[in-house]
Structures are given as C-alpha cells and as structure tokens.
A and B are shown apart, each in its own frame.
Chain A
Amino acid sequence: MDLSAINPVLLIASLMVAATPLLLAAIGELVVEKAGVLNLGVEGMMITGAISGFAISVETGSPWLGFLAAAVGGAVLSLLFVVLTQLALANQVASGLSLTLFGLGLSSLMGQSYVGIKPPQMADVHIPVLSDLPVLGPILFSHDPMLYLGVGIIAAVWALLKFTRVGLILRAVGENHDAAHALGYKVVRIRVLAILFGGACAGLGGAYISLIRVPQWTEGMTAGVGWIALALVVFASWKPWRVLLGAYLFGGVTVVQLNLQAAGVAIPVEYLAMSPYLVTILVLVILSADKSSAPASLGRIFHASH
C-alpha cells in the first residue's frame, strides 16, 4: 500500500469531476421537488441521458451535441412521468420507480452497439494565467466546460428561487397547490415544466458520466448515482448551494475510495466500493430529523375538482 501515490491536487480536481453528475441530477430534482413533485425516476433519466448523449456524440463527433441530446433524452423520458403523474394522476412513487425500470431497459436496448467505443473528448478549458497557476490552476481552472455549467446551474437555480417571481410561484405551487390554484396559477403547467427541467438536468448528469467521467458506455453505468442524487436533495434541505456542498462531499468519498483501491489498501475492494452507499445512508440518518424545510405539497396528487 502506498498512500503517498495519492496527489492531493489531483484528488480535489477529480473529486469535482466525480461530483458533477450527482450535482446536475440533484439540482434538477431539487427544482422538481420545490414544485411539489417527487420524481424517483432520476436514475432512469440519468441512464437514458447517458446513452443518448453517448450515441449522439459518437455519431456526430461533437460532445456538445451529445450533451444537448442527453438533456433532450432525459426530458423526453420525464415526459412519461408527466403523463403518469400530472395527467393520469398516478402515484408518484410508483411512477418514478417505473420510470427507472423502464429507463434502465431502454438504455441497454439503445446502447447495444455502443459498448466498447470511445466517445469524442470534450477539451478542458484553458484560461491563460489562471489555468497555469500552481495548485489552484488544476483544481479550479482546468476542467471541462460542463463542470462549470453545473455550478452555473446551481447559481441560476438559487437566484431563480430566491429573487424572481417565477421562483416564488414555483415555491408556492410546491407549498400549497390548492392555494396556488385558487390564486389562478397553472399548477399542472408549472409542475410539468419543472419535471422537464429535472429530466434535462438528470440527462446531462448521466451524459457527464458516459462522456467525461468514465468515458465509455456500459449497461447500468449510473450505478445508483440517481438515487444518491435523491438523497442529496434531502441532505441539502432543498437549498441549492447545499446541493453543491453535498455533491462535493459524496464526490470526495467516491474519489477517496477509488484512490484507496488503487493504492492497494488492505480493505477488500468490495467494501471500499460499498462506502458511497453507506455514507448516503449515514447522511440520511443524520439529517432525517429535520424535515421542516420539505415543500408541504411534496408527492401529493393535485386534481382541481371544482
């Protein structure tokens, strides 16, 4: 075992990469939950995004088009959730589960001919001076553009929820859909848009795994990241910046355990690989006491009766 092989600068830089899929999926789900909808289909939308993005960027040679396709793919899958929960008024838990089961099947069907291929690379940004700084350069200024986009989305969601009327209406719908309806807001329309946004973000997160983090396509490659993203929203108490914090924390756990595996620590590989899931459970336990910040209408079915 050789812990000195672990380079702290690279560790932090790769932590940010490991955190980004989680961050993207979680910020999307945060918006969905803020609107009062619980979509447990994140895993399904992520894996669909992963293969859509992978396939399109392989076919077109452009990672950018790939990410666009991933967002569209995730959103299209979330449209099924929209149909089930917003139009057919189905149970959100069951619908979310079905979305995940369906997404896993669909992605492996779509991905059959893409196993073992290398996708085109997305170049890392290079900012003169800044990127060349020691320590800070590799950590903060030498990543792929999507990583910055992820942080940008967090900031945008935060600003949207805190300062804009759209954000206020979104929160109102999630807080009390009957009251929002009585005031004349289109509850279903707002929720549909939120769900589509969540789907697009999950799709981007999935594609980040298949195009940048790994980068290749294997079946079921999201391996529970979508579920961890759901836990992350609880962890973050529905606050955008805490999503960032939480994602980096989980990213850290993942990267550290991978580094320990590589360094040949005496703990068996399987037990190290369990750690992100165990940490998720631990965090859920610690944070479950405080549910007060959950949107009050979360998971409830809305039907304008009269």
Chain B
Amino acid sequence: MSQVLLSLSGLTKAYPGVVANDDISFRIGAGEVHALLGENGAGKSTLVKMIYGLVKPDSGAMELRGRPYAPGEPRAARADGIAMVFQHFSLFDALNVAENIALGMENPPPMRDLAARIREVSETYGLPLDPFRTVGDLSAGERQRVEIIRCLLQDPKLLIMDEPTSVLTPQEVDILFETLRKLRGEGTSILYISHKLEEIRALCDTATILRLGKVVGTCIPRETTARDMAEMMVGSALKTPERSGRALGEVALDISGLSVPSPSAFGTALKNVHLTVQQGEIVGIGGVAGNGQEELLGVLSGEILTEAGAVKLMDRPIGRLGPTARRALGLLTAPEERLGHAAAPDMSLTENALLTGAVREKLVHNGFLRWGATRAFAERIIADFDVRTPGPDTAARALSGGNLQKFVIGREVLQNPQVLVVNQPTWGVDAAAAAAIRQALLDLAAGGAAVVCISQDLDELMEIADRFAALNEGRLSTPRPTAGLTVEEIGLMMGGAHGMEVAHV
C-alpha cells in the first residue's frame, strides 16, 4: 500500500440495544479504491457517517494524513477533503442542479460561474449535466451525477460512495467505473460501499469486510473469489433457493395497453404497458428505480384506477376496482415501502394483519372486527414466516427491516393469492431473510399462483424469475425467458445508458 490517507483505529459506536460498530480499524491508502463490504445492518452506514462527521464515535480515533481527525460536522469533513455521495436523501427535487450543488459547497461561487464550472467538470469526467434542470425531473443515474459533481467540485482527497450502483443500469455502471478509475489515476482515494461482489472485484484494490459491526476480514478482491467474499460477509455458506419445474396454467393476469399518469409530481407515467402472467409463473420486472415501478404496483393493487379492460384477472376486467375488491378476487400486492405503505408503523402486528387480510381471512363480520381471528392470523404469519418479535402486540416499527418484510410478504402469501405482485421484496433485508422470502415466492408459484416480482436486484430476478422484462421511463420491454439472458441484453432492456454519453477517458 502506498502512503496512508485515512486510518481508523478502534472505532466503536453503540445505539440503544445494538452495537453498530465494534472496534473497527483499517487504513485507506492514497489513490486507493477501498471497498467496504457487508450485508445490510453490518454497520457500513454508521461507519461512513462517523468519517463524514454526521455521527460521533463513542470511542476510537481517526487519523487523516497522520494528523488526528475528528470532524464535528460534515462541514469540517468537507473542509478536510472528504466528500460523500449518498445512497438516498441528499438531493432537493424542487431545486435545480446548480442550486443543489451550491448547497453541498462551503463557499460556492456566484450561480453563473458555478454553472460554468459544473459544465466543465461534468464534461471532463464524462458525466454531462445541465446545471439549470430541476433535479426532480432527472433520471436516477443523472441524479447520482449531481451528487458526484457536487463532490468533485470540492476537489476531494477521499470520496465516499454508498451503494452507488443500486440505481444504475449495467451500462451506466461502466460509465461510473470509468470515472472512478480516472479519479483514482489523479490520486483521489475512494471508499466504495457495496454488497455487490462482482463490482468490487472489478473496481477495488482492497476490501474490508464487516459483519454485525465488526471487521471480519480484509482481502484483495481481484485475488479472491466472489464465493469466498460472500461467505466472509454472511458468515456461513449460503443456501440458494430451490426451483422446481413448474407446469404453467392459464393466463392469470393480463395487462394490455395500460397508460396512466403518475399521481405524484415527480413520478413516472406508465406508457402502453403489456404483460401477461400465467399461473405457476414468476415474471421478474427489473429497471432502475423511478422508472414506473411504484406506479405499476399501484395500478395492480388498485390504488391507481385505470380503464376497466387494461388490467384483467382471470379474464375479468378489474381496472376500475379498488384494493378491497381486488383482494376479494385474489390479486394481492406488497409495496416497496414497508413502513407507511405496506404497514402502519405505530400499529400492532395484529392491526397490520387486518390491514390487507380483512376480506380473504374473513376478519370482519357485518362491519365489526373479529379481533380474536385477526390475532390468530397475525400469530400464524409470525410462526410460518419466522418473524422475530415478542408477539402480535408489537408495533410494526419495532421490527427490523428483514422481520417486517417477512411479515408483509407472509401476510399476502398466507392468504393464498391467485396473483401476487411484490415490489423490492428483499430491499434492505439481511441475506437469510432474503433467501426465505425468495423461497416463499418460488413455493407460491409452485402451488399454482402467478407471481410478479418487481426488483432492482438483477441477481434476485435471475434467480427466481422465469421471464424477465424491464421498466424504462414508464415503458415495459417485451418479456423474455431468463434462461440465457446476458448482462448486456438486460442492460439494453433497462434502457442502456439512458442516452448518456459514455465517458471519454
């Protein structure tokens, strides 16, 4: 390793009930791309927040270029040459690109000069951007560019990137990697956080692996197999879901010529979507976030109404039916956002079981609630899906992401749907829970249900889906059998590089 840029020693941070980081030590060299690898909940986010000055460690110390480094706030971190590209939550939809970038700088130049600088830097690094466009109208990849440019204008010594490729198509990932390699060539260090092993092998020089808040290993990714890294990350050999051969039945869900505007200001309208799903089949729908996934789920759940014939369930037009009527007919859904959409955070699991189970589980009689039966249903979900919780009286928000997701998926699966539509079923969920959820979807299809799985995790879709289609700016590509699909083909279905220029470096 060349000269050390940042060294962490013994960093520890505890929150009530959980030690997020336990005695973490490692070093990042100058001009090095250093991977921080770990599952959801391994403590990666807390660690980078400490480096970026958002969270103060309980104990331990950091040194930057040999001098003690203890940023009191992000401003101090930025002043010391540390910049961060966030996974979420750091752009302002209603403001334009230049304003967004100005907010991330200490002493931004006047707007006109800043706009010129943005044009210049973005061209240099192959990430063209119009400084006066409203950020809410940008694609996910372009939004990330805004964040990256914001960092680059600060001339960072260390660039922290938190799961940067989760919002990109494979082609866009290539562009990003070119940019990052160029930065490395100029001597910038990069701390690259991810759980995607192939990416890390392609890009990173060193990797530190975290599990349950502790460093469990370091390796040179180029010289380590993905399998070995995965086992270090998860701590045990992974069980791949079993797929059994399934006989396909009649067409259960038929979407034809579906076009609807988005209900939200910065949403994506669906444009002429066609899709049929047969009984016993899992159709995977990929695509970068914000290309109409939420709207597609809303159209199927009944939260967004369409022309009657645009959505058919077992040949019956249901486009004008609301969620309750659709559930009665056997079309069940599980939205992406667990807290606040799929479940009410402050309500108990029993009440949350009632939320979608009222009709099919007969939890309501003449408008009056059958609390006993509801509680029994909640307990059945908890038992069958191994939801770790003190009991059905616990509030939904008290559950971990993985456990709540198991509850949400279990709630729908146990109601014996004809068609189940899930959006991001394993997002932010630990590996064991993710495997259990995927298995449940496979079992459901094996039992004769039609399943639509919307996900941004391509590996997941390749693992469980029979056919694959991608959403791109509200349009759905023609579904193709997953067997034999290449990454390039998938990338093109997802819209390629979204008309972005490839980096000229």
Contact = CB atoms under 8 A, between A and B. Distances in A.
A178 B108 CA distance: 21
Given A183-B74, A184-B53, A306-B55, A168 B103 contact: yes
Interface stretch (B94-102, B304-312, B460-468): B94-102
Contacts of A178: 89
A175 B54 contact: no
Nearest to A292: B265
Tell me what chain A mostly uses at the interface: helix, strand, loop, or mixed: helix
Contacts of B94: 171, 175, 295-296
B267 to A, nearest CB: 12
A261 interface: no
A51 B103 CA distance: 41
Contacts of B86: 182
B89 A176 contact: yes
B46 A306 contact: yes
Interface in A167-191: 168-169, 171-172, 175-176, 178-180, 182-185
A179 B90 contact: yes
Nearest to B75: A184
Contact of B93 (A168, A176, A180, A183): A176
A50 to B, nearest CB: 35
Given A168-B103, A169-B103, A175-B93, A184 B74 contact: yes
A194 B450 CA distance: 53
Contact of B103 (A183, A295, A296): A183
B73 interface: yes
Given A182-B74, A184-B73, A168 B99 contact: yes
B53 A175 contact: no
Q: Which of B15, B46, B91 has most A Cβ within 10 Å?
A: B91
B70 to A, nearest CB: 15
Interface size class of A (residues with CB under 8 A): 10 to 19
A298 to B, nearest CB: 12
B19 to A, nearest CB: 14
A184 B55 CA distance: 11
B58 to A, nearest CB: 13
A295 B55 CA distance: 27
B89 A175 contact: no
B26 interface: no
A169 B92 CA distance: 11
A168 B100 CA distance: 9
B104 interface: yes
Contacts of A168: 95, 99, 102-103
B139 to A, nearest CB: 18
Contacts of A169: 103
A264 B93 CA distance: 53
B119 interface: no
Interface string A145-172: 0000000000000000000010011011
A182 B54 contact: yes
Interface string A268-282: 000000000000000
A184 B52 CA distance: 10
Interface in B42-96: 46, 49, 53-55, 73-75, 78, 86, 89-95
Interface string B162-176: 000000000000000
A296 B49 CA distance: 25
A196 to B, nearest CB: 23
B104 A183 contact: yes
Contact of B95 (A172, A182, A292): A172
Nearest to B89: A178
A296 B92 CA distance: 9
A301 to B, nearest CB: 13
A171 B95 contact: yes
B49 A179 contact: no
A175 B103 CA distance: 12
Q: Which of B89, B93, B95 has most A Cβ within 10 Å?
A: B89
A172 B92 contact: yes
B497 to A, nearest CB: 26
Contacts of B92: 171-172, 175-176, 179-180
Nearest to A184: B74
A182 B90 contact: yes
Contact of B90 (A171, A183, A292, A306): A183
Contacts of B90: 179, 182-183
Q: Which of A169, A176, A184 has most B Cβ within 10 Å?
A: A184
B480 to A, nearest CB: 38
Contacts of A296: 93-94
Given A172-B103, A183-B103, A306-B55, A165 B108 contact: yes
Nearest to B107: A165
A176 B78 CA distance: 21
Interface of A: 165, 168-169, 171-172, 175-176, 178-180, 182-185, 292, 295-296, 306
Return the 3 tightest CB-CB contacts between A and B, nearest first: A184-B74, A175-B92, A178-B89
23 contacts: A165-B108, A168-B95, A168-B103, A171-B92, A171-B95, A172-B95, A172-B99, A172-B103, A175-B93, A175-B94, A175-B95, A176-B92, A176-B93, A178-B89, A179-B89, A179-B90, A179-B92, A182-B54, A182-B89, A184-B53, A184-B75, A185-B103, A296-B93
Given A183-B90, A184-B54, 17 more contacts: A165-B108, A168-B99, A168-B103, A169-B103, A171-B92, A172-B95, A172-B99, A175-B95, A176-B89, A179-B89, A183-B74, A183-B103, A184-B74, A296-B93, A296-B94, A306-B15, A306-B46
